[in-house]
Amino acid sequence: MTGLCLWLVSVITLFTSHTLRAQLVLIGFVPLIILISLFPNTFTLPSGIKRDKITFTLSDAFVFLIACWYGTLPAVFIAGAEGFVSSRRTVRRLSSNLFSAGMISLAAAAAGIALNATLRYGFHETNVGKYHSFFAVTVALLPATAAHVLVNVGLLSKLFALRSRTNFFRAWQENLTWAAPIALPTSAVASLAYLALQYNWLVMIIIGAPILVAINFGHRQYRNNMHQRIELVEKAHRETIDALAVAINAKDEVTHEHVLRVQIYAAGVARLMGCDDAEIEALKAGALLHDIGKIAVPDYILNKPGKLTAPEFDQMKMHTIVGAQILGRVDFHYPVVPIVRHHHERWDGAGYPDGLKGEEIPLTARILTVVDCFDALREDRQYRRGLTREEAVDFLLKNSGSQYDPRVVGLFITHLPEFEAEIAAHKGQTVPTFGIEPTEQLSEAALRVAPAAGLAATEDTVAVSETRFSHKEVASFYDLVKALNTARDRNELLGAFAERLSSIASHDTCAITLIAGSGEIVTEYARGQHAEAIEGRAVGLGEGITGWVIANQKPFCNTDPRLDFPPALAEKFQSFRTLASFPLLKGDRLFGALTVYSSNRSEYGDDQQRVLKESATILTNALWAMAQQASAPQAFAVERTLTDQNPLLPDHGTNLESELTH
């Protein structure tokens, strides 16, 4: 508004305080300056998220010339007219055009005041027109140019800072460093044009035209070099993010499809909640980088199938702080660090690391918490199937107001169909990988390399010699082996095993899941509560706890038993508290899994897990022996006659006899 008022004052002054000849000259300058502005150089601001751009023309040189020859207000008149017309060519919005005219008018006024103040107080020259000395004009144009750049860039930086909610002074400082070299040559052009104009107009045109062409060419070269530097910086920034993504993937595998969905959800909710461009960009980066701190968490904690201990969970909590420290060293132009630090805070204040509550939690962190949780619930995990859309929505609603911001949850669920339509539109398109790629594996030659000090024995090779059981446990194992030896077929074998297992390790339900020759995985035998519901049930590879154990060939203990079943069946196990599942593995051959469920135990301790693991080994050996007998019955009978070891326990029979004798 101030700039427009100043421009109106300059118009009134032009027609009341100047001669007709001066009025005609100044009005004639308007089309000349507009003609020059038809050849702009467009520069991308180094600060800003949306790559804001400004245009620069050599018309400022004529504004300075008019300020020297006619004074400040005529220069304001010319600058305001040029600013309005130039803005009109790019933006057909009157408010923006008037703002541009007012901004340029203020910059011209600052330049004119600085110029005339230098001439008056520095050189004691108060006249106008051609009566200034060339040296005085040359010197006075330097502070005039500085004032013009400071005001012009300052107003632009303030506009962009308000629009993107970034730091004004930082943006002003960054933009000044590149704008000053562009503006300085205009003062040289103005001073030379002033010198030539002291002779006549023709001399000014002859001298000024080649200089203007040369400076315009120099500006283009400078612009191109700046664009190249900005592209290099942005490329390095993208590569930094990709490198961090690779580090995340090495510790905690994610998919780029998950990242893309979370980015679409987060950006959509952020726009609905009035977030600026910087916050939206921060959310997109946060969707990829929020778990970068997990590189400081030990693998055994990240991959632990059961519950974490209190010290282990304390270490897990540290990933938010470590992640914020890592990203704090990267010069992001958007606030991604608060997202990484606070994405595990809760609305009720029971989160970590800082225990923030309600509105104290950054809005971007609250948004990411909701949308990342929703998409994670929908994905299949190694130990469970993904929830349906309705189940995931119900989970968010149940935890709204306690774990999640109710407003974020409400907006997200209300507009979920729109977000899903946007995700569907990306199907069939090339999805960015965000640097998430399969980790390269070691070659066969590299796997054969051993350290100079040699290799320690693996756990499997020393387990027999180091494992010790009580006399009661050894007797139970021996009784189990004898019972399995008398079994005539597999059903009788599984029944005998399940019957005696109850005296070895307490449980309420036992399930033995085996892999058929066709590859189908079926619970072949179940004993105990709800046995009829789970016996004969097909299990998908990786489905539930049992499916996870078979897929990964690793034990999984002490988690909610309901996770092992589909929702309808899980209701029957509502009162159960824990489970333990072990793979039935002998060498490279996988037979299936043994899973026990308990409603009385809160967890299976180390001793119980050790006993169950040994029981699973005995069952595995029995299944292996029966398979061997079925494939070569005569050879197996001869081998069994010639050896004193129990065929069901080729590795442990002698040890058991020794334990009993001792």
Three-state SS for 148?
helix
Copy the structure tokens of residue 644.
């004193």
DSSP code at position 404: B
Tell me the mean pLDDT in the region 20-41. Answer: 75
Same domain, 262 and 182: no
Number of domains in the chain: 3
Q: What's the CA gap between 47 and 96, in Å, rounded?
A: 21
Q: What are phi and psi of 556, to 5 degrees?
A: -145, 120
Characterize the bridge pairing of strands 53-56 and 509-515: unpaired
End-to-end CA distance of the chain: 101
Examine the fold and report which residue of 396, 426, 456 is the final residue of a domain before the chain moves on. Answer: 426
Alpha carbon separation from 43 to 175, 185, 301, 659 (Å, rounded): 11, 16, 50, 85
Tell me the mean pLDDT in the region 628-636. Answer: 62
Same domain, 191 and 296: no
Three-state SS for 576?
coil
Residue 660 in contact with residue 527, Cβ under 8 Å?
A: no
Q: What's the CA gap between 57 and 52, in Å, rounded?
A: 17
Strand ranges (DSSP E) for 45-162? 53-56
Copy the structure tokens of residue 97.
């055009």
Same domain, 397 and 500: no
pLDDT confidence bin for 155, thresholds 50/70/90: confident
- What are 84-121's pLDDT values in tens digits? 877 777 777 787 778 888 888 888 888 888 888 888 88
Q: What's the CA gap between 411 and 434, in Å, rounded?
A: 27
Q: What is the pLDDT of residue 7?
A: 81
454 domain residue, yes or no: no
By mean pLDDT, which of 291-305, 345-359, 508-522, 560-574 is the weakest?
291-305
Q: What is the pLDDT of residue 247?
A: 67
Q: What is the pLDDT of residue 449?
A: 55
Copy the structure tokens of residue 549.
């154990």
Tell me the mean pLDDT in the region 416-423. Answer: 92
Same domain, 225 and 263: no
Same domain, 506 and 383: no
Tell me the mean pLDDT in the region 513-523. Answer: 92
Residues 6 or more apart from 402 whose CB is under 8 A from it?
346, 347, 348
Copy the structure tokens of residue 455.
């290799």
Q: What's the CA gap between 387 and 280, in Å, rounded?
A: 28
Three-state SS for 351?
coil
Q: Give the percent of the chain with pLDDT over 70.
A: 71
Examine the fold and report which residue of 200, 233, 266 is the final residue of a domain before the chain moves on. Answer: 233
652 domain residue, yes or no: yes
By mean pLDDT, which of 243-247, 370-374, 398-402 is the weakest?
243-247
Residues 6 or more apart from 242 whose CB is under 8 A from it?
434, 435
Nearest to 303 by CA among 381, 369, 245: 381
Q: What is the pLDDT of residue 142?
A: 81
Q: What is the pLDDT of residue 289?
A: 86
Same domain, 38 and 65: yes
Q: What's the CA gap between 285 and 269, in Å, rounded?
A: 15
| Structural domain of 208 | 2-233
Same domain, 289 and 377: yes
Q: What is the pLDDT of residue 390?
A: 92
Strand ranges (DSSP E) for 357-452? none
518 domain residue, yes or no: yes
Same domain, 344 and 393: yes
Nearest to 480 by CA among 579, 633, 585, 620: 620
203 domain residue, yes or no: yes
Crossing angle of helices 72-90 and 94-123, in 10° steps, is 150
Same domain, 29 and 110: yes
Q: What's the CA gap between 577 and 555, in Å, rounded?
A: 18
Residue 614 in contact with residue 467, Cβ under 8 Å?
A: yes
Same domain, 262 and 346: yes
622 domain residue, yes or no: yes
Q: What's the CA gap between 475 and 471, in Å, rounded?
A: 6
- Render the burial of 430-469: b for 16+ CB within 10 Å, e for the rest: eeeebbbeeeeeeeeeeeeeeeeeeeeeeeeeeeeeeeeb
Same domain, 226 and 289: no
Amino acid at 547: G
Tell me the mean pLDDT in the region 474-484. Answer: 87
Range with the largest mean pLDDT of 6-10, 330-334, 402-406, 423-427: 402-406
Q: What is the pLDDT of residue 212?
A: 63
433 domain residue, yes or no: no
Tell me the mean pLDDT in the region 163-174. Answer: 67
Indicate the burial class of 267 (C-beta count within 10 angstroms; 0-12, 13-18, 19 or more): buried
Per the DSSP assignment, residues forming a β-bridge with 384 are 381
- What are 254-273's pLDDT values in tens digits? 566 788 899 999 999 999 99
Same domain, 34 and 73: yes
242 domain residue, yes or no: no
* Domain at 174, CATH number: 1.10.1760.20
* Domain at 315, CATH number: 1.10.3210.10
Q: Is the pTM of this model over 0.85?
A: no
Copy the structure tokens of residue 168.
């004004």
- Give the CA angle between residues 607, 608, 611 to the nearest 5°: 90
Q: What's the CA gap between 274 and 278, in Å, rounded?
A: 12
By mean pLDDT, which of 384-393, 401-410, 424-433 is the weakest?
424-433
* Domain at 635, CATH number: 3.30.450.40
449 domain residue, yes or no: no
Q: What is the pLDDT of residue 499?
A: 92
- What are 292-336's pLDDT values in tens digits? 888 888 777 776 666 677 888 888 899 999 999 988 888 777 889
